[in-house]
Structure 1
């Protein structure tokens, strides 16, 4: 197969969207272990938003507090993990006695990178793709991603100590905000001590609540898994009516905005957050704004469906000279439809593996075939697991 290329200017005429629907959820606990029992997942692991305005009056909430005790998962353990994802999906399919009928099975984070690529075109992207049982599986190339992380870590180590410390605390502050802004159960079920001592809780990025949704664009159907930060009010039961996804929230932090340049930078960040929420059907984003000393100053709530209008309507973009076009969320959706259609058309051979690459200097994505040894690696542990393949084969013979 010769290398095929798709320009970032490509747009699909058929970008009709299928409303995401949650199929099931599972969690990763403080020890890095996974729990798939849905009753335990919802009862023990779901977080609930609680941060009254009164907490912010004359705020002394320090988002760097507890940094030295941060329980941080190693980078290699925090990459997209098909083994646990397919274990969860297999349990769901076994419960329903059938294969999930979709075209693509992958991670929300990877799809966010593709969706936002036309307006976030400075970073390289390397994805491995295989087709199995009529479905496409897409993951980051773990070797390249870990090498990239190591390079970034080394570059940070070469910075002055105070700069390193600041950047590390910037990352930590997001997890601290999640810890301070959520409770482990609804407010009415929490003791006053539990509510007031959240600041003392050791912050970690091990614990994750993972939602698996079915969605699609154009003629393509897909299953995505992504982390959910918490619930705005409550999570309805299966028979309560309405969408579970309507109640989920995304929690983020950013520096307070003080000038026009920071407005533009924040809107780029807000665009990526919109992409994350849009793909999963999450309706609400809550941003905590901190100052340079990591004191929480304000909290703003954004409706996901309003973000495209906020970004598009900003006159500051008319004066931007970055070389990147003003962000247009609808255009990004049409690009997303085009690139997924293109992948679906090219990735057809179930005996081969493919690499999707984006190089910022080319302003295009490319697909090429991968050597047999990588193909074997992806089909025997790195993407597909023996348990999942055995399950799918059992469906064919039944």
Structure 2
């Protein structure tokens, strides 16, 4: 490994300035790991009337037929391929490079921000960063996500119930275009976690501009024929009923993490399904992302300043990355780094020639595709010719 830089999790930036998120592009990802750019075919629409909630829907129904894609070695849930294809399509339309210092997925930034609140045991961070063409591209090293226990265990049932809730709460088309028989069959629909609809959002904190890809659970009301539907998206979550003080504290911690997910890309609406110990859906509640900081401040002294602290740490860690990693505008130079979380520090180390990962990261397709590299070279050449 090359030179090492570290950042203590207590570091804070003085800035709390956030850029208004803006949707730049979108794409659909299939169970077969195909990326459909500027395609909404995997978009879902929220539909869960009170009459359905009153039916005590079983959130473990169909668990044995669950189509689990995360355990498939051919299904790389961390790949930047679709994100880079979307950025390339956007740049081809605009004929200029997207304005961004860091390009990655929302989940990566959520993990990095969570370092200030969780130990490495509960928030493992293992990332690879490449510096190319003046920007940092960050990819998570894929880890097993599927609980190793049997499908009869409480752990697996809780894991599955989140996907089942999404399936029960959404339809594949706007409601006027959905048949009554399709609505009635939803409880028997086989669940999968392979199909995804991804938004590509430009946001930022302080002086750092970020381009983030993020899976969208559903459209809450309707989608517009425009370039920005962020205000129409909703995040879906499922958790146990809150029936005690301890339950309330656990839920507030979950709510903070969900707020973190949503504020990063500007999703304004969060919908929680609450289940009992038998995994029957009992109630549904909606939260406004903007109101959660005040809710936590008024109800939980331990989390009273968590949201503002998260923003200040967000600013500090992005400033550190931009300072610690050289960013050359050249389309020929690629530098690779490992980013991990150890002993209350983010640790950044260079990956040098001769290292086992070097060739794949710098010359291969682990992060940057040949098509994206070629496109950036062509774009730089155009810019140079126009500047003469």
- Relative to the length of structure 1, the TM-score reads 0.88
**Structure 1 unaligned spans of 5+:** 319-324
Hey, what's the Cα distance between the residues in 1 that align with 2:247 and 2:51?
A: 27
Aligned to 1:207: 195
Hey, what's the Cα distance between the residues in 2 that align with 1:48 and 1:396?
A: 40
Secondary structure at 1:233 match in 2: coil
- Whether the aligned pair in 1 keeps the contact of 2:132 and 2:335 (CA below 8 Å) is no
Aligned to 1:31: 32
Hey, what's the Cα distance between the residues in 2 that align with 1:49 and 1:395?
A: 40
Aligned to 1:358: 341
- Tell me if 1:180 matches 2:168: yes
- Tell me if 1:273 matches 2:258: yes
Hey, what's the Cα distance between the residues in 2 that align with 1:351 and 1:392?
A: 13
Q: Deviations over 1:321-345 (max 9, x none)?
A: xxxx766101110100000000100
How far does residue 394 in structure 1 lie from its aligned partner after superposition? 0.8
Secondary structure at 1:118 match in 2: coil
How far does residue 371 in structure 1 lie from its aligned partner after superposition? 3.1
Hey, what's the Cα distance between the residues in 2 that align with 1:391 and 1:87?
A: 10
Aligned to 2:126: 126
**Structure 2 unaligned spans of 5+:** 328-332, 383-388
* Alignment counterpart, residue 60 of structure 1, candidates 53, 56, 60: 56
How far does residue 88 in structure 1 lie from its aligned partner after superposition? 2.2
Aligned to 1:371: 352
Aligned to 2:101: 103
Matches within 5 A, 1:315-334: 315=300, 317=301, 328-334=306-312
How far does residue 78 in structure 1 lie from its aligned partner after superposition? 4.4
How far does residue 67 in structure 1 lie from its aligned partner after superposition? 0.6
Closer/same/farther in 2, CA of residues 186 and 369 from structure 1, 3 Å limit: same
Secondary structure at 1:313 match in 2: helix
Matches within 5 A, 1:202-351: 202-238=190-226, 243-315=228-300, 317=301, 328-348=306-326, 350-351=333-334
Aligned to 2:379: 395
- Whether the aligned pair in 2 keeps the contact of 1:352 and 1:375 (CA below 8 Å) is no
- Whether the aligned pair in 2 keeps the contact of 1:119 and 1:327 (CA below 8 Å) is no
- Tell me if 1:49 matches 2:46: yes
Matches within 5 A, 1:162-181: 165-181=153-169
Q: Deviations over 1:177-232 (max 9, x none)?
A: 11111111121222211111111211110110000011111111111000000111
Hey, what's the Cα distance between the residues in 2 that align with 1:124 and 1:65?
A: 31
- Whether the aligned pair in 1 keeps the contact of 2:168 and 2:186 (CA below 8 Å) is yes
Hey, what's the Cα distance between the residues in 2 that align with 1:231 and 1:84?
A: 21
Hey, what's the Cα distance between the residues in 1 that align with 2:188 and 2:33?
A: 22
Closer/same/farther in 2, CA of residues 30 and 354 from structure 1, 3 Å limit: closer
Moved more, 260-269 or 299-308: 260-269
Hey, what's the Cα distance between the residues in 1 that align with 2:242 and 2:360?
A: 46
Hey, what's the Cα distance between the residues in 1 that align with 2:347 and 2:372?
A: 29
Hey, what's the Cα distance between the residues in 2 that align with 1:327 and 1:176?
A: 33
Deviating 4+ runs (over 4 angstroms): none
Secondary structure at 2:365 match in 1: helix
- Whether the aligned pair in 1 keeps the contact of 2:7 and 2:345 (CA below 8 Å) is yes
Q: Deviations over 1:61-83 (max 9, x none)?
A: 00000111111103352431112
- Whether the aligned pair in 2 keeps the contact of 1:83 and 1:381 (CA below 8 Å) is no
Structure with greater proportional helix content: 1
How far does residue 131 in structure 1 lie from its aligned partner after superposition? 0.5
Q: Deviations over 1:142-176 (max 9, x none)?
A: 4xx35xx59x63xx4xxxx68x5221111111111
Hey, what's the Cα distance between the residues in 2 that align with 1:62 and 1:50?
A: 17
How far does residue 267 in structure 1 lie from its aligned partner after superposition? 1.5
Aligned to 1:137: 137
